Each structure stands twice: as structure tokens, then as C-alpha cells.
Amino acid sequence: MLRLGTREFGDHEPVIMAIVNRTPDSFYDRGATFADEAALVRVDRAVSEGAAIIDIGGVKAGPGEEVSAEEEIRRTAAFVGKVRRRHPDVVISVDTWRHEVAEAVCEAGADLLNDAWGGVDPALAEVAARFGTGLVCTHAGGAQPRTRPHRAQYEDVMADILRVTLGLAERAVGLGVRRDGILIDPGHDFGKNTRHSLEATRRLGEMTRTGWPVLVSLSNKDFVGETLDRPVKERLIGTLATTAVSAWIGARVYRVHEVAETKQVLDMVASIAGQRAPSVARRGLV
């Protein structure tokens, strides 16, 4: 059972996490949701299209202008409160690696801390324990926040992913984070080249078999772009193909830009797997 905020998700229930960037320079939307009103419209649409989690980020993942903890808090904490008032039952996640930001957003009503940089700030998990929030434990290959990989090497990339994410998860439990609120994430692109991310996808079953719910953040990423030689705005098909494979293997949470398209893919995979009935079944009956 996965429990986040007021929501409980069944063992075979796919969960969509919609990305809402509160940055002026995000790689995908180039600041389209930096302003509050535009971001709230994005939240409303994502919820209406089937997102159960809204993931709010105040700092671009890649290199760029430096953003202080104070500025990250300004971009995220008050907005968390607005989303909470507007959508009381939605799960609110905040993408941050800093414990100071985690404190502020938890006080504002966040349900989940999405630590995409692999526990680089050990105090973040302590904040999750203190506030009773969930926690995403990600493999970033030891990379520092907002850096790109350079000649990353692994003897066995999935073995390293398992070592790091399971270690972070067990440490979090030891600190008092709820076991049913912890997810593990292979960290596609983070501290990895394209071949590493493809192998992580191919071997995702090694993560799902651990019993921890697996989150995948695949949406329009560089490994998709390099695999198909497509620019950022032409990566949807590759993203959805990777989503379908990940769903068949057993990933639970999908961090995405395109919610409606992702939901169709997840519904189709679940129906093929016998976990969801077709929405309509008229063929051959009428």
C-alpha cells in the first residue's frame, strides 16, 4: 500500500504525478508556469486529466542561474498553500534537495518530498520524518545538484541504483519516515548517460521486485531525445513508449508533463494486464 497525504493507492494502481515548474528557465516549458495564475491553471488541468500528485519545482534541474534557498522557498511554499486550498485532496509534492525548503513547504501543506538528487542533504529525510510526509529516494550517481553527468561509469548501473536507493529508503525508515510513504526512483538522466538510462529501464523489474513502489521520471528527457535523435518538443512518442514498458514491468508513479496522454497509456497497459476493465465493451455484443 502506498499512502500519500489523504490518499491511499492500491498495489496495481498507476499514479500520475504532474510536473508544475515554478521556474523561469525550465528545459521543457521555458517558464510557462512561472507566474502563479498560469501555474494554477496548469494544476487545475492536470487534476482534471487524472493526475493524483502535483509535483512543484522551484529550481531548474540543469545548470543555470543560481537560486538560493530563500528564492526557492519564495517560488514554492506560498504556491503549495494555494494548491492545497484549491484542491484539498490532491497529493502535493515538492521537488527539492534542501532541508530548509522542505521545512517551509511541509509547513505550507506538502505531502511528499521529491529528493531528485539522492540524499545530498541528509537532513531532508529528517524533515520528512518530523512532518510525516512521504519521501522519494533517488539514484543520482553521486552527482551534485544541477550538474550534468560527465563520463559517468558504473560496473553495474542497476546494482548501484539498488544499493543507493534501498540504502536511502532504509535510512529514512530508521529516521521515522513512514514506510508506506517511501518511493524509490532510478533517476533517469541524473548521473547517467543514455545507455545507463536505457539499461535502468530494461532492468526496472529488479527495482519493482524489492517491494518498494517505484517512481519513474521519464518525461521528455535527454535519454529519450538521444535515443531517437529528437529535440525536446518532439519526445512525446518516445516518452510514452518508455512509460508503457515501465508500466508493464511494474512502476507505480509516473512524473510527467503530458497527463492525458500518459493516462491513456497507463489505462491501456493495465487493461492488457487484466488489472482494469475496458471503459466500453460493445464489440460483438450489439
Of the candidates 75, 98, 252, 255, the residue annotated as catalytic is 255
What's the full length of the chain, in residues?
Answer: 286
Return the amino acid letter for 29. D
C-alpha span between 255 and 16 (Å, rounded)? 6
Which CA distances in Å does 246 have to 46, 171, 189, 205? 21, 26, 16, 9
- Among 32, 76, 57, residue whose Cα is nearest residue 145: 57
Would you call 276 a catalytic residue per the annotation? no
- Among 194, 51, 61, 77, residue whose Cα is nearest residue 116: 61
User: 151 burial class (0-12, 13-18, 19+ CB within 10 angstroms)?
Assistant: exposed
Return the amino acid letter for 170. E
Q: How far is CA 48 from the centre of its chain?
A: 19
Would you call 263 a catalytic residue per the annotation? no
Count of C-beta atoms within a 10 Å radius of residue 81: 16
C-alpha span between 28 and 193 (Å, rounded)? 19
Q: What ranges in 192-233 are assigned the alpha helix state H?
A: 194-202, 205-208, 222-228
Of the candidates 42, 75, 221, 252, the residue annotated as catalytic is 221
Active-site residues, by number, are 221, 255
